[in-house]
Amino acid sequence: MENVPRVAIVVFVLRGKSVLLGRRRSSIGDSTYALPGGHLEFGESFEDCAVRELKEETGLDIQKIDFLTVTNNVFREKPKPSHYVTIFVRAVLADPLQVPQNVEPEKCYGWDWYDWDNLPQPLFWPLEKMVHSGFNPFPN
Ligand code: 8DG
Ligand code: MG
Ligand code: MG
């Protein structure tokens, strides 16, 4: 991949006071707890990307997608430094009883719900940075 900034869509799936997180298996942020999401594809809307990535990674169907914020994240990790403009959205489950599946076990150790007031450690650093700054994904 050419050395250019890329766009990622990352999703806070909210369920009660919990969010969906999975431990990453990746050269970037390996073993840290991160939100589901991935690369915006050519021609795709933010909402379509969020729906697609959730389905690809967890099997979940989401709805009520709202834009939250955007952050600029430079990962200096060798051998492949990368740079993401990361767009954060929130969503809820279309069917509250649907259970997340680890559809891409080569990229994630598994998905689970975590209470916002008791998040697991270590968080993927872009997420850690947001939490540390007092960011809250829940509607008022
Ligand atoms: P794809 O092939 O499915 O499109 O990509 P992916 O394998 O799902 O990509 P990803 O690493 O999950 O997400 C792309 C980038 O988004 C990631 O390398 C860095 C950035 N990113 C953040 N914060 C978060 C986060 O909390 N979760 C995820 N998944 N990515 C994040 O800046
Ligand atoms: Mg992903
Ligand atoms: Mg993905």
Instruction: Give tens-digit pLDDT for 23-78.
Output: 999 999 999 999 999 999 999 999 999 999 999 999 999 999 999 999 999 999 88
**13: nearest Cα among 105, 73, 115, 89:** 89
DSSP-assigned beta bridge partners for residue 84? 6, 73
Whose tokens are 């050269």? That residue is 27
3-class secondary-structure state, position 84 = strand
**CA of 75, closest atom in ligand 1:** 19
For ligand 1, atom 5: residue with the closest CA = 38
84, 107, 129, 130: residue to mutate for ligand 1 pocket, most atoms within 8 A of CB: 84
pLDDT confidence of residue 140 = 83
**Residue 8 Cα to ligand 2 middle (Å):** 9
Provide the 10 A C-beta neighbour count for residue 66: 14
Report field, pTM of the whole predicted structure over 0.90: yes
